[in-house]
Amino acid sequence: MSDNNIKYVRILLPLALPKMYLYAVPDEFASKIKFGIRVEVPLRRKFYSGLVVEILDDSHTPDYATKNIISVIDERPIIDEIHLDFWKWIARYYSCTLGEVMGIAIPSGLKLSSETKVSIIDDTDIDEFELSDDEYLIYEALGVQKELNLKDIQDILDKKTVYPVINSLLKHNILDIREELISNYKPKKVKYLRLKDDFDSEENLPNALELTQRSKHQTNALLAYTQLSKTQTEVSKSALMELAGISSSVVKAIVDKGIFEEYEKNISRLVPRVGEKKAMPPLSEFQEESIANIDEILKDKNHVLLHGITGSGKTRIYKEYIKRAIDKGGQVLFLVPEIGLTTQLVDRLAKIFGDDVYVFHSKLSQNDRVEIWEEVLKGKKIILAARSGIFLPFRNLKLIIVDEEHDSSYKQQNPAPRYNARDAAVYIGATREVKVILGSATPSLESYYNASLGKYGYVKLNKRFGNVSLPDIKIVDMRSKNILVPNHSKYSLPLITEIQNSLNSGEQVLLFQNRRGYSPTINCNKCGWFNQCDNCDVSMTYHKYTNEIRCHYCGTRDNVPTVCPRCGSSGLVFLGYGTEKIEDELKKFFPEVSVKRLDMDTGSTRNNIEKIIDEFDRGKIDILVGTQMITKGLDFENIGLVGIIDVDRLMQFPDFRAVERAFQLVLQVGGRAGRRKKQGKVVIQTYQPKHPMIKDVLDNDYHTFVERELEERQQFRYPPFIRIIEITIKHKKPNVCHEGSQVLALELKAGLRKRVIGPSVPGVAKIRGFYQYRIMIKIEKSGIDINKVKDFIVKCKNNTLQKKGLKTLRINIDVDSY
């Protein structure tokens, strides 16, 4: 299409709109229009940056009045067709709109939307006495400051609702209102200094020094400048100030004298790490064997499941494939479940691949994320990322590694799209020339099943690196008489003995408890009251260190009750064990040793986590107590013992996957023991020592476990033999929620019949003030058009939302909701 034939563009906006609109392209912009660039468009009195996803000539005449695009934002595309195709697949598969996919796919820094600004109309005649107090305040403020945004106005009036005041000022013709696109992305700027032309040479420098001779500081600044410019092509203001020991006012004085000139430059925030690169260590015999097997599989398949027991050195194998991919000029996406816990991995990759590696995750600042997006477009080679990395705009992707592929953090719960990054990676491998390695010591049932069907290749690495044996596992039967340490303890005597033994031989200990805080419940032993959260249907957890009770669902905090709020009795009992209490008790048993805790409270930031992991690594911590956070991929040399305080709790969740999850967790945590030198120990405390899962753990028998689970899943119709789509209906009013769920279920059943189960009240009936109902839909894997089913579900949802009184329901569709 020639430029002058470009008449319309279809624009994708990051909003949950049912369709994409066409906009007209004014001639002046026609030559700049390309697929995948952002343009500014109006929608419902606001402006947005939208993506050009289709370009049309004048043979298309839309049947509605199109609006014009307002400006062109990018010169170069920020996505290509393949990325849009991937977004479309996500929207289709996970039953959401393309706009919602865009909403999470691109960093917010690339999503602009408009901000309302008001200013005073010049030359208006106003009688100040006609204005109300609020109106006058704004009028007055605008005399000082030319423009105000809504936030400013809210602050000035100290209230949230400001539209009435603005409206009345608009009516009086005092205010002017305009919308302006704002970007959150701010490139990082660095200030530099250079000598102005007159002084910029060695023979002219004395002239400059003469001008500054009366100020010692200024003279120092000039000397520092000369020194710095010997080794650096550009002299940054901050470096100069530091070397000369001067403040910015001194620099300003020199600038004012016309000697220095200041200028700014955008720089990358993701400064490459320094340090020397190292060669990879040679492969072990077993690793070589695995690689030969993987090579064989990848000849005609794009997917391989690498089932390597803990400590077998899967990372070394990943590195091999990363190296091969980048040597051929390809890009690599390395997915990990939780990036906060990957400091060890980042270090290890950086040692080998240097600044070819970037790390991408949701805790990065918006600016950093924009920068990585751009780097990936330009061809950055290796990206280590949490699940959202799957949306990065790789143009030459050759390999995706999904480490710990069984991990549930690959699934996004909220907001839509509720995608699973592992499955999305599998899709990419199936539709493009991208190899996908799924790795785990405890593969998910899905992946194992897919491998057994031959969909994926399967490689087992059954030996630990260095031939260290798997840990020796000991089960403690908590029902036995006198097994507990006296006085309300969660510790059995055998566990205490083993901890002592490990400490005696100079080894470290990990203790796992899947619950944070001190006690999960406070109970009145007189009237039965318990400390339920006002917003949620759960009890609030007592946190001893911050001395408060806190709801883990909505974050509400409150003071710790000293007497029962209902009956006034002082007989309050603190029930249950969180990591804080486990840590506390431990300190009583072993007052001499250093005990630390790693959970969401102590490891809320990447820095905190890094610090604890580093201290543990250097042997500064003897015993580390933690939640799942200690299970994931950490590799320490000196762990002699891993203790699992309460394995039963893990199996109790009302979820068909609970036992699978428990099994994986236990093997993963246990796998942290004895990784390098000698065999480690694992102690598991349980009230159900005869549970078949416990037996499989004891025998380290993944296959028996999986085969039995699969049999049960087949019998009771659960994944991977069927698909599950789960629908959650939420509302603040319980009756509206109930009615909505009935209406929706009825409509669903009319089409899907017995596949629809529910509605039922989930385990936690209320979260953040919203009551919930759940409908589960089980769909067979063959003989039915799954896309039609999904369309039907979306239709039922929309019909329900159109019914009188049900418009404010929230209905979430979650495909493969596990």
Angle of helix 343-353 relative to helix 606-617, nearest 10 degrees, comes to 80
Quote the DSSP letter at residue 315. H
Helices (H) and strands (E) in the chain — how many of each? 25, 35
Stretch 206-265 residues interacting with Zn ion (CB under 5 A): none
User: What residue spans of 63-194 are helical by DSSP H?
Assistant: 81-93, 98-105, 133-144, 150-157, 163-171
Q: Which of 95, 287, 531, 686 binds ligand ADP (CB under 6 A)?
A: 287
For residue 309, the minimal CB distance to ligand ADP (Å) is 7
User: Please, is 565 exposed, middle or buried when counting C-beta atoms within 10 Å of its C-beta (0-12, 13-18, 19+)?
Assistant: exposed
- What is the phi/psi pair of residue 35, to 5°? -65, 140
Q: Report 647-686 residues binding ligand ADP (CB under 6 A).
A: 675
Q: What three-state secondary structure class fits 791?
A: helix
Size of the site for ligand ADP (CB under 6 A): 15
Query: Is 635 a binder of ligand ADP (CB under 6 A)?
Result: yes
Residues listed for the chain: 818
Q: Which stretch binds Zn ion (CB under 5 A): 325-333, 514-522, 535-543, 685-693?
A: 535-543
- The distance of closest approach from Cβ of residue 99 to ligand ADP in the complex, given in angstroms and rounded to an integer, is 39
Q: Which is nearer to ligand ADP, 389 or 671 (CB)?
A: 671
Out of ligand ADP, Zn ion, none, what residue 527 binds, judged by CB under 5 to 8 A for its kind, is Zn ion
Distance CA 522, CA 542 (A): 8
Pick the closer one to ligand ADP by CB: 287 or 627. Answer: 287
Q: Does 519 bind ligand ADP (CB under 6 A)?
A: no
Stretch that binds ligand ADP, among 2-10, 186-194, 309-317, 643-651 (CB under 6 A): 309-317
Q: Considering the complex, state which of residue 283 and residue 298 has its C-beta at the smaller distance from ligand ADP.
A: 283
Chain-centroid distance, C-alpha 493? 40
3-state secondary structure of 22: strand
Residues 307, 316, 380, 422: which binds ligand ADP (CB under 6 A)? 316
Decide if residue 566 touches Zn ion (CB under 5 A).
yes
Residue 227 binding: pick among ligand ADP, Zn ion, none (C-beta 5-8 Å cut-off by kind): none
Find the binder of ligand ADP among 314, 380, 681, 774 (CB under 6 A): 314
State which H helix or E strand residue 572 sits in.
strand 572-575
Structure tokens given for 370: 């924009």
Q: For ligand ADP, give the closer residue by CB, 76 or 677.
A: 677
- Is residue 524 at the binding interface for Zn ion, with CB under 5 A as the rule? yes
- Strand runs (DSSP E) across 159-217, as ranges? 175-182, 188-195
Q: Where do runs of H (alpha helix) occur along 638-730?
A: 647-651, 658-670, 692-698, 702-715
Piece of the chain touching Zn ion by CB under 5 A; list 206-214, 276-284, 522-530, 744-752? 522-530
Per CB under 5 A, 536 contacts Zn ion: yes
* Contacts to ligand ADP from residues 103-142, by CB under 6 A: none
Spatial distance between the Cα atoms of 721 and 450, rounded to a whole number of angstroms: 11
With CB under 6 A as the contact rule, the residue among 14, 99, 109, 311 that binds ligand ADP is: 311
Residue 287 binding result from ligand ADP, Zn ion, none, given CB thresholds of 5 to 8 Å by partner type: ligand ADP
Contact between 313 and ligand ADP per CB under 6 A:
yes
Q: How far apart are CA 656 and CA 170, in angstroms?
A: 59
Query: Of ligand ADP, Zn ion, none, which one does residue 313 interact with (CB within 5 to 8 Å by kind)?
Result: ligand ADP
**Could you tell me the two tokens for 602?**
């102590």
CA 296 to chain centre: 35
The separation between the first and the last C-alpha atoms of the chain, rounded to the nearest angstrom, is: 46
- CA–CA separation, 71 and 48 (whole Å): 11
Q: Taking CB under 6 A as the rule, does residue 471 contact ligand ADP?
A: no
Residue 551 engages Zn ion in binding (rule: CB under 5 A): yes
Shortest Å distance, C-beta 107 to ligand ADP:
30
Give the 3-state secondary structure of 620-662.
Answer: CCCEEEECHHHCCCCCCCCEEEEEECCHHHHHCCCCCCHHHHH
Question: How far is residue 441's CA from residue 312's CA, in Å, rounded to a whole number?
Answer: 9
Q: Find the binder of ligand ADP among 114, 290, 302, 312 (CB under 6 A).
A: 312
Q: How far is the CB of 444 from ligand ADP (least distance, A)?
A: 16
Q: Under the criterion CB under 5 A, does residue 89 sit at the interface with Zn ion?
A: no
Pairing of strands 188-195, 71-72: unpaired
Q: Is 554 in the site for Zn ion (CB under 5 A)?
A: yes
* Footprint of ligand ADP on 583-612 (CB under 6 A): none
Stretch that binds Zn ion, among 22-30, 407-415, 531-539, 758-766 (CB under 5 A): 531-539
Stretch binding Zn ion (CB under 5 A), from 21-29, 47-55, 561-569, 597-605: 561-569
Give yes or no for a contact between 441 and 671, defined as CB atoms under 8 angstroms apart.
yes
Which of Zn ion, ligand ADP, none does residue 316 bind (CB under 5 to 8 Å by kind)? Answer: ligand ADP
For 287, counting Cβ atoms within 10 Å of its Cβ (0-12 exposed, 13-18 middle, 19+ buried), the class is buried
Pick between residue 314 and residue 381 the one whose CB is nearest to ligand ADP.
Answer: 314
Pick the closer one to Zn ion by CB: 186 or 566.
Answer: 566
Query: Are the beta carbons of 272 and 266 closer than 8 angstroms?
Result: no
283 sits near ligand ADP (criterion: CB under 6 A) = yes
Using CB under 5 A, pick the residue from 292, 527, 746, 750 that binds Zn ion: 527
Q: By the criterion CB under 5 A, which residues form the site for Zn ion? A: 524, 526-527, 529, 533, 535-536, 551, 553-554, 556, 564, 566-567, 569
Q: By the criterion CB under 6 A, which residues form the site for ligand ADP? A: 281, 283-284, 287, 308, 310-316, 465, 635, 675
